[in-house]
Amino acid sequence: MTLIVQKYGGTSVGTVERIELVADKVFAAQKQGHQIVVVVSAMSGETNRLMALANDIQGEFAHGRELDVLLSTGEQVTIALLSMALQKRGCAAISSTGAQLNILTDNKHNKARIQNIDADRLKRLLDAGNVVVVAGFQGVDDEGNITTLGRGGSDTTAVALAAAAKADECQIYTDVDGVYTTDPRIEPNARRLNRITFEEMLEMASLGSKVLQIRAVEFAGKYDVPLRVLSSFEEGPGTLITYEEDSMEDPFISAIAFNRDEAQLTIKGVPDQPGVAAQILSPISAENIEVDMIVQNVGSDGNTDFTFTVHRNDHNKALKVLENTVKKLGGGQIGGDPNIVKLSIVGVGMRSHAGIASRMFTALADEKINIKMISTSEIKISVVIEEKYLELGVRTLHEVFELDKAKAERNQAASA
């Protein structure tokens, strides 16, 4: 018998009516002869409502053990309601909190990580004929304290359960019907991909594509759980994310990703000496500001320029930290620009094909789009450009790399 883990997010279970629709989908899947585990998020709006209560008491940065006790009720409400809706249809169903299913995490409240899942109880409930409805986003530490995995952690719960129970597929239901070559709101010719590799998905998730949480993709890759992204509201095969690569058929590039949430910071004319990068970045990370791209140019006259990007929300905070740093370093000019975006091409195919980077840079230059920073990985090239060129850049690259065409068509073109 096939075991499938399905995950429905907050929008998909946002009202009783939508929960009833999810129950229809789940029951239909069970009637096809599958064993089904369903992981759900809190009803949309619920986590924000609870967070507002916590903020009323703790102030803007509510945190800690009790916040997890509070927020974990959101998913608990959904599992009860969905189980009721399934039972009403004559479908045996039982709900389970993270604690009841022994989803063991570390004790880092508000951002815990799953350490172990005892799949025995899950298997027992499934073998008794139940659909098992599990609260996502939550677990329990080894002292029985409730923990949460941080926002969006329900994807991780689903993948971790699929790994622990050796599920045949983990299906993530969202409000989009799959992974696209780029955002269809910017490029109308964007095309749904039938499949994509974990590595590509990982790069896309880290680049700001919001389809899946990056930790969930990492987890799925690590434990080789076939992951499928589908729509909660429409029928369709979605996009399958797998390890399997078929490089003969793979096109150079799979998708164009972008991230509007970044800001750029620069120090010009700092002493070009060992340790200067650490001196600049250590105070930044000490303030819990995450740094994404880092570029240091070759120096001249004993000085060098140092540029990096942070989340746009951290731009002002990072500027202040840099001011102190410059005082200590004894020199340098600080600049910051929150109006930049990161634009990337992603594809395992670029490994085996030279010339991808120059093709990208040429295409952008032809459109007079200035590249401010460049960063590369084995399967990704990212550039920072001015925000106003974002849409033009996306459409240009989508066309140049022929992402509107299906694989076979592109490969024909390439070999012709």
Residues within the interface to its own copies (CB under 8 A): 16, 19-20, 50, 53-54, 56-58, 62, 64-67, 69-70, 72-73, 76-77, 79-81, 83-85, 87-88, 94-95, 97, 99-100, 144-146
DSSP of 51-62: HHHHHHHH-TT-
Query: Which residue lies nearer to its own copies by CB, 52 or 408?
Result: 52
By the 10 Å C-beta count (0-12 exposed, 13-18 middle, 19+ buried), 83 is classed as buried
Local structure of residue 300 (DSSP, 8 states): B
- Shortest separation between residue 109's beta carbon and its own copies, angstroms: 12
- Shortest separation between residue 76's beta carbon and its own copies, angstroms: 5
**Beta strand residue intervals within 59-191, DSSP E:** 93-96, 103-105, 114-117, 131-135, 138-140, 146-148, 169-174
**Beta strand residue intervals within 82-179, DSSP E:** 93-96, 103-105, 114-117, 131-135, 138-140, 146-148, 169-174
- Shortest separation between residue 140's beta carbon and its own copies, angstroms: 9
- Shortest separation between residue 288's beta carbon and its own copies, angstroms: 21
Angle value at C-alpha 41, between 237 and 17, nearest 5 degrees: 75
Query: Which residue lies nearer to its own copies by CB, 83 or 181?
Result: 83
Number of helices (H), then strands (E), belonging to the chain: the values are 12, 20
- Shortest separation between residue 41's beta carbon and its own copies, angstroms: 15
Residue 76 exposure: Cα atoms within 13 Å on the Cβ side: 16
Query: Which residue lies nearer to its own copies by CB, 59 or 330?
Result: 59
Q: Which two tokens stand for residue 348?
A: 């395992």
**Beta strand residue intervals within 18-79, DSSP E:** 35-40
- Shortest separation between residue 51's beta carbon and its own copies, angstroms: 12
* Best CA proximity match to 13, nearest among 77, 89, 71: 77
Query: Which residue lies nearer to its own copies by CB, 102 or 296?
Result: 102
Query: Which residue lies nearer to its own copies by CB, 79 or 160?
Result: 79
Query: Which residue lies nearer to its own copies by CB, 89 or 192?
Result: 89
